[in-house]
């Protein structure tokens, strides 16, 4: 953290922080609500002929979404790196930022164990002791549109707030950083697969907890959970991918990518000074200094 005399001027509350927060908390729930409505007819047909238990529907659906996105999205980013695709969107990488082959292999090994061995047991326990009898049946109708939107917005807010404080604690308590969080920071320049490369304690408290907390506490409809999980995974894989799609048509016209978030979290890994959560949370709790100084020095502004 820089001292007070060096602190940069933060973007204004009324013209940057508040609009950014409102847009951020509306955009994803809005797209999620649209996706839910579009997917529900197909979802209902599959759920109607599902031959196994509701618990298995929850477990298999969750694992399938997780594994498919993990392989497809991160595989796509990996191939872009390997064959030089989309390099105009690639964030700066120096030699020290490049992950070793051994680190990548260990990341894939840990990912395989987590998704194939650990996940089924964890999901079975969660459903049995927390969601059984509380979560709507797979064949139940969706709630009204406002309720869907509210659930997705609150899930996003819960994730954003709890991740920030959990992540910041892992950085600001030295022994926690050394013994737990440092594993994730073995990736100086991140790749998509690195998003889930973390100590088990961090996985539970900082990654999984913020993601599942609201949806599991509120026992939302299974399809709401599936769509929220998919959006959350897409977001974190892109954020760790090392690509920033600023200026691309999906970002410029549809707001479908997360360019500022990608730059912000990539800065956190490559420089490791502040930038603990979303830009909005870092603005609110004064941990945006180093990122703002870099942006001002290199671009004149972070906009």
CA 248, 253, 258: angle at the middle one, nearest 5? Answer: 60
Report the chain's mean pLDDT, rounded to a whole number.
93
pLDDT at 254: 82
DSSP assignment string, 132-158 = TTTSPPTTSPP--HHHHHHHHHHHHHH
pLDDT at 112 over 50: yes
pLDDT at 4: 52
pLDDT at 3: 52
pLDDT at 99: 95
pLDDT at 294: 83
Percent of the chain surpassing pLDDT 90: 87
CA 266, 30, 44: angle at the middle one, nearest 5? Answer: 110
pLDDT at 5: 58
pLDDT at 253: 77
Q: Quick one: pLDDT band at residue 238, thresholds 50, 70, 90?
A: very high
Instruction: Please report, for the chain, the start and end positions of each structural domain, with discontinuous segments joined by +.
Output: 10-261
pLDDT at 10: 93
SS3 266: helix
Do residues 274 and 288 lie in contact, with contact meaning Cβ atoms separated by under 8 Å? yes
Rg for the chain (alpha carbons), in Å? 20
pLDDT at 250: 87
pLDDT at 205 over 80: yes
Which region holds residue 216: left if phi is over 0, alpha if psi is between -120 and 50, else beta?
A: alpha
Which whole-number Å values give the CA distances from 37 to 24, 43, 70, 149, 220, in the listed order?
21, 10, 24, 11, 15
Which whole-number Å values give the CA distances from 16 to 124, 212, 302, in the listed order?
43, 29, 11
Q: What is the pLDDT of residues 243-255, one digit of tens each?
A: 999 999 888 778 8
pLDDT at 152: 97
pLDDT at 176 over 70: yes
Q: How far apart are the first and last CA of the chain?
A: 22
Q: Quick one: pLDDT band at residue 189, thresholds 50, 70, 90?
A: very high
pLDDT at 2 over 50: no
Q: What is the pLDDT of residues 139-164, one digit of tens each?
A: 999 999 999 999 999 999 999 999 99
Q: Quick one: pLDDT band at residue 1, thresholds 50, 70, 90?
A: very low
pLDDT at 300 over 70: no
């Amino acid at each position: 953290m820089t001292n007070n005399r060096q602190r940069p001027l933060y973007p204004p509350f009324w013209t940057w922080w508040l609009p950014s927060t409102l847009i951020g908390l509306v955009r994803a729930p809005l797209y999620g609500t649209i996706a839910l409505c579009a997917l529900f007819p197909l979802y209902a047909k599959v759920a109607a002929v599902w031959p196994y238990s509701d618990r298995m529907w929850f477990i298999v659906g969750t694992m399938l979404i997780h594994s498919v996105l993990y392989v497809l999205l991160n595989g796509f980013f990996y191939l872009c790196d390997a064959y030089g695709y989309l390099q105009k969107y690639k964030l700066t990488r120096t030699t020290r930022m490049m992950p070793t082959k051994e680190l990548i292999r260990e990341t894939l090994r840990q990912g395989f164990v987590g998704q194939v061995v650990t996940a089924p047991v964890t999901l079975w326990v969660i459903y049995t002791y927390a969601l059984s009898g509380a979560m709507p049946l797979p064949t139940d109708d969706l709630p009204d549109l406002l309720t869907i939107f509210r659930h997705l917005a609150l899930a996003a807010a819960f994730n954003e707030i709890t991740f920030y404080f959990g992540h910041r604690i892992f950085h600001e308590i030295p022994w926690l950083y050394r013994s737990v969080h440092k594993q994730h920071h073995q990736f100086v320049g991140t790749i998509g697969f690195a998003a889930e490369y973390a100590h088990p304690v961090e996985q539970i408290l900082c990654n999984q907890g913020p993601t599942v907390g609201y949806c599991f506490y509120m026992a939302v409809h299974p399809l709401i959970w599936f769509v929220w999980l998919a959006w959350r995974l897409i977001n974190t894989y892109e954020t760790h991918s090392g690509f920033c799609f600023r200026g691309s048509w999906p970002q410029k016209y549809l707001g479908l990518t997360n360019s500022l978030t990608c730059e912000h979290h990539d800065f956190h890994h490559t420089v490791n000074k502040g930038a603990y959560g979303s830009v909005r949370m870092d603005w609110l709790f004064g941990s945006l200094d180093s990122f703002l100084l870099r942006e001002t020095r290199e671009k004149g502004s972070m906009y």
